[in-house]
Amino acid sequence: MPVCILRANTMLHRIARGLSLASGLLAPCLLAQIPTNDQLQQWINAQQWQQIIDSLSKVPQRSAEMEFDYGTALAHLQRWPEATAAFQSGQRLAPRDARFPTELAGIAFQQKHYALAAQRLRRAHRLAPGDSYVNDFLGTVYFLDDNLPAALQAWNRVGKPSIADVREEPQLRVHPALLDSAFAFSPAATMTLPQYLDSRERLRALGIFSQDQLNLRARPDGRFDAVFRAEERDGFGDTRLEAAFLFLRGLPFQEVNPEYDNARREAINFMSMVRWDAQKRRILAQLSGPLHHSASLRYEFLTDLRNENWIVRRSFTGTAPALASLNLRHEWLTADVASYARDRLQWSAGAEISHRDYRAVSAGTTLTPAMLSSGYQLKQVMRIASNLWRIPAHRFTLHAEGAEQVARLWSASPQAFATLRGGLGAQWFPQAKGGDYEMVNFLRGGRTIGQPPFDELFMLGLERDNDLPMHAHIGTRDGRKGSAPLGRDYLLENWELNKNLYSNGILSVQAGPILDIGAISDPGTTLGSQQWLFDSGVQGKLRVFGEGVALSWGRDLRTGNNAWYATILQRAW
């Protein structure tokens, strides 16, 4: 073996012996510097935070318990970055210990980073679901971040919040007994999340609030007051300007909207529309009000008279020859009862009697004699809706609805038909607070059993009397209906993102992208879309006094057609 290698081995051997000797001499010194649990507890009791920091900072490898004490001392001295690092180190050493995410949440809370505090507390809750401190802390964070449903969900686990009183700010005109029936909770009791959601549904059903908020206000005794703030619709409007706007807002579309809200202070509402458009005349009126002075049950009477000219085409633009044409006269009267007692379930049931006739008919090869049956019709209608799933912490709601209609038409050859409609709607606010961004998605479908008359067919497109929008398919051409796809069965998905651009309490403006995917068919005829439809575009919504107009631009991704459209944002009839 070479001499240089022998010398190197001898040197390495001596270095190793020296390091071993040094470690043996230093070990007692290092152990002497590590404080015992009793010492740490004495310093904690005496709040000697700097002593804890000085002692533990010299320990080369702290245990999870030491990291907790070290982070606690740093946090008491408001050395937030160092305390965060200590708690995060302890969390890595003891990932199942709920104290670390709880303390990290406390640091975020002190810095007013409420969304981050909630995120860390959710981790702590998963580790210790029954920890009353974590649940109370989590509810407080959500409450300060204006997410009351999430706050109630957390607080309810520890028997909070206790309601002392229910207040209105400002005082409302609606009868106090009727408003009280809308609140599913009571003073001197705990408000639960289901009670809050039921109350919100009943207040919405009254139909007299353009804007409203149901919040909690903390009291010095640890209880809360429930505070209801609302912009109340009353009469023709609070001011002449508001009354004139509500009456004339449809003037650009050749219509006016006489309305009167909260008659006799009983949430009895009258809404109507008079349209004098030569191609689609219409008179509509609706009267609704509470049953038995209860906000949970409402009656509704609706009458609708139409005189419309139709030309059935393949498109609203370009070369699109007329496939059929007719004049439709249709009159109907509907009466129903609706229940809004629960957020989880709303329903309505009613009956409709109507009469229709068709004139100046040119059926071509598109319309069948059964579609053009005239005469009286009796229809039974049922609707059901439910908020299926809520994730209050993430501000997500999944809504489901369904409707069933069974009708019999007495004409030259009597016929019966039924329609089934259903849908799922998802709403998500991605930010922790506020409504600056709103993502909405609707998936809907409908199917017809039997042969309905022409005006009972579904339409996919933009038309002021239609509720199945495709934003690059306009339902009228030269003012006449019939240029959007028609059929007996459909499937439609609408997605939109709404960004708040401006709001001052009276005027609000939103805008955002939209995407529509749909298909419609009519077996045995040439109606329908023949293929899937794909539209994209941008939509803006402008509201004044809670009512307004929607402006949209859509592009048909198949044909490249562009569509600009404006329509009134109507209240649900």
pLDDT confidence tier of residue 570, bands split at 50, 70 and 90: low
Rg for the chain (alpha carbons), in Å? 34
Select the more confidently predicted residue: 210 or 256: 256
How far, in Å, CA of 187 to CA of 165, rounded?
A: 5
Same domain, 341 and 271: yes
- Beta bridge partners of residue 476, listed in sequence order: 481
Whichever domain contains 174, its CATH number is 3.10.20.310
**Which of 203, 232, 261 is a domain's end point?**
232
Q: What is the pLDDT of residues 437-475, one digit of tens each?
A: 999 999 999 999 999 999 999 999 999 999 999 999 999
Whichever domain contains 125, its CATH number is 1.25.40.10
Same domain, 245 and 203: no
Same domain, 528 and 544: yes
Same domain, 435 and 504: yes
Q: What is the mean pLDDT of the chain?
A: 90
Same domain, 212 and 267: no
Same domain, 207 and 340: no
- Number of folded domains that form the chain: 4
Same domain, 195 and 337: no
Q: What is the pLDDT of residue 238?
A: 82
Among 36-45, 129-138, 242-251, name the most confident range. 129-138
> Which range has the worst mean pLDDT, 11-25, 169-183, 485-499?
11-25
Q: What is the pLDDT of residue 471?
A: 96
- Beta bridge partners of residue 399, listed in sequence order: 387, 425
pLDDT confidence tier of residue 546, bands split at 50, 70 and 90: confident
Q: What is the pLDDT of residues 7-57, one digit of tens each?
A: 334 443 443 444 343 344 434 444 446 888 888 888 888 889 999 999 998
Q: What is the pLDDT of residues 350-368, one digit of tens each?
A: 999 999 999 999 998 899 9
Q: What is the pLDDT of residues 113-124, one digit of tens each?
A: 999 999 999 999
**Which of 208, 232, 256 is a domain's end point?**
232
Same domain, 4 and 54: no
- The predicted model gives 212-219 an average pLDDT of 94
- The predicted model gives 376-393 an average pLDDT of 96
Same domain, 130 and 169: no
Whichever domain contains 485, its CATH number is 2.40.160.50
Report the side by side order of strands in the sheet with 224-232. 189-190, 162-168, 224-232, 209-218
**Which of 198, 232, 266 is a domain's end point?**
232
Q: What is the pLDDT of residue 25?
A: 40
Question: Which whole-number Å values give the CA distances from 153 to 103, 148, 191, in the listed order?
Answer: 21, 9, 10
Q: Give φ, ψ of 135 to 5 degrees.
A: -65, -40
Same domain, 143 and 251: no
Same domain, 200 and 316: no
Question: Which whole-number Å values give the CA distances from 454 to 204, 324, 332, 372, 527, in the listed order?
Answer: 34, 12, 15, 6, 11
Residues of the chain with pLDDT > 70, as a percent, come to 94
Same domain, 408 and 270: yes
- The predicted model gives 313-335 an average pLDDT of 93
Judged against a pLDDT cut of 90, whether residue 178 lies above it is answered with yes
Which residue in 344, 218, 340 sits closest to 291, CA to CA?
A: 340
- Residue 6, classed as helix, strand or coil, is helix
Could you tell me the residue range of the domain that residue 196 belongs to?
A: 162-232
Q: What is the pLDDT of residue 506?
A: 80
How far, in Å, CA of 46 to CA of 42, rounded?
A: 6
